[in-house]
Amino acid sequence: MEASEKPQLPLDGLDQGAVRAIGDRLVIERLELTDERVARVVRQRAEAGQPPGVTITRAIEIGARVLDTEETAVNVDYVRAEFERHAGALRQRLEKALEAGDQQLAERIAETFDGNRDGSVQKEIDGLVSEALEAQRTKIAQLFSAEDGANPLTDFKAAVVRGFKALDERQHNEGEANRKRIEALQRELIELRERGEADERVAAEAERGTAKGFTFEERVHHAVERIASTRGDCASHTGGEGAEGGGKKGDTLVELGAAEGPALGRVVFEAKDKKLSKNSAWAELNGGMAARAASFGVLVVAGEERVPAGREQLTEYEGNKLIVAVDREEPDSLVLEVAYRLAVARVLMARDRELDVDAVAVRDITAEAITLLKQAQAIRSILTGIKTSSDKARANLDAMIASLQEKLDRIDALVAEADE
């Protein structure tokens, strides 16, 4: 190859010289190599920071490995050629020997492997295999029928027995619990049937136009009446009665302290089983307070979804109005009692202005009570979700137990097949 016209890098200060091999070392003195590719590689690596001596050393090592590999390949080719030559000669001798002894070999094979002869190899192999299979089958049957630790299924059978005992006990306990639940459900069904008959009677009255929406209204009245009776107040169901000024607004009228003396104030409760707009709700409360001469009105709706848009329950509006959401079927709850007490406190504070009442403290305590009430409702919702999850988990457990039973039946079937 032609020498490169580009400037050359000195190889550690060496020009030309001799190469000496001393033991496992190679000494190069004053050596000059003219090769464009080698010069370019050394120059590029030197520019990248690698010393020229290191590059030259690696190049010599790699080249030596390549040369050694080529010589090895030549030796392998030589050995392969010699082997094929000798193998060809051996193949020819074997073919001649086989041709000469084919007849004798055929006769010998026929005598040895004739299936019709008692002393043939086939007969002997068949007898040995039959005896081995019979002995193995007998040993396996004895092993799996043993009652001691030699039986590999002893621990498994014991575990299965314990599992079935635990399953029977659990099923017995669950059966007892289910029996109690069924009895409770039967009692509830009787109550629901009686309640349904009562609802049917109320519905019949509603169809005749004498008590429109009376079912929810009546339940709210009973709940308010219970609260009033514990405080010395009187609650009257006025939803079907005409007011002194005309009309029938105001479903339940509460007279504060009337059970023990003159009334100290009045609170009217309006029960609605439908969602009203804000204006309609205020119209109902204002009309009820005016008709019943009450100074405070509470709108009781069946469920939070029926709270008027833009309004919140247990929040005082205009100084004399309050909204509370209760369960439609069971309105007698803590939230209704909180609303009752807030309304009573507001009426008494407005009546006895000369009393030294800490209004700020009352407002703060009221806010804290409302917060606790909302937390209680959230916890109740969480508990309901937990019960639902528990029911789902029990259903999954029953499915797992059924699957386990199928696996155990399959094991018994396999063992029975082995014993046959």
Between CA 60 and CA 79 the distance in angstroms is 29
- β-partners of residue 299 are 270, 323
Strand, coil or helix: 49 = coil
Q: Among candidates 95, 337, 150, 345, which has minimal Cα distance to 226?
A: 337
Q: Which tokens is 377 given?
A: 């409702």
Q: Which tokens is 77 given?
A: 């080719």
Q: Which tokens is 190 given?
A: 């009787």
Residue with tokens 């200060």: 13
- β-partners of residue 268 are 253, 297
Between CA 365 and CA 356 the distance in angstroms is 17
Q: Where exactly are the structural domains of the chain?
A: 1-98, 152-212, 213-357
Give yes or no for a contact between 250 and 243, defined as CB atoms under 8 angstroms apart.
yes
Q: Among candidates 280, 290, 289, 266, which has minimal Cα distance to 346?
A: 266
334-351 vs 214-229: helix crossing angle, rounded to 10: 60
Q: Among candidates 266, 271, 267, which has minimal Cα distance to 240?
A: 271
Question: What architecture is domain 213-357?
Answer: 3-Layer(aba) Sandwich (3.40)
Between CA 109 and CA 54 the distance in angstroms is 71
Between CA 287 and CA 142 the distance in angstroms is 95
Q: Among candidates 315, 324, 325, 320, which has minimal Cα distance to 282?
A: 320
pLDDT attached to residue 281: 92
DSSP states along 177-228: HHHHHHHHHHHHHHHHHHHHHHHHHHHHHHHTTSSTTHHHHHHHHHHHHHHH
A 10 A CB-CB count for 338 gives 19
Between CA 188 and CA 191 the distance in angstroms is 5
Give yes or no for a contact between 307 and 283, defined as CB atoms under 8 angstroms apart.
no
CA torsion sign for 272, 221, 383, 315 is positive
Give yes or no for a contact between 279 and 293, defined as CB atoms under 8 angstroms apart.
no
Strand, coil or helix: 256 = coil
Residue with tokens 């009895």: 183
Phi-psi region of 319 (alpha: psi -120 to 50; beta: other; left: phi over 0): left
pLDDT attached to residue 146: 64
pLDDT attached to residue 9: 45
Residue with tokens 């169809």: 207
Per-residue pLDDT of the chain (420 residues; tens, 9 = 90+): 444 454 544 444 444 457 777 877 877 777 777 888 888 888 988 898 989 888 888 888 888 877 777 767 666 677 677 767 767 776 777 677 666 666 666 666 666 666 666 666 667 777 777 887 888 778 777 766 666 666 666 666 677 777 778 877 887 888 788 888 788 877 777 877 777 776 666 555 544 444 444 579 999 999 999 999 999 999 999 876 765 555 668 889 999 998 888 889 999 999 999 999 999 999 999 999 998 999 999 999 999 999 999 899 888 899 899 999 999 999 988 889 988 998 988 888 877 665 555 556 666 666 676 776 677 666 766 776 776 777 777 787 778 777 767 776 776 676 566 556
Label residue 272 exposed, middle or buried (CB < 10 Å: 0-12, 13-18, 19+). buried
Contacts of 114 (CB under 8 A, 6+ apart): 120, 122
Between CA 229 and CA 210 the distance in angstroms is 27
A 10 A CB-CB count for 314 gives 19
Q: Please tell me whether the overall predicted TM-score, pTM, comes out greater than 0.75 for this model.
A: no
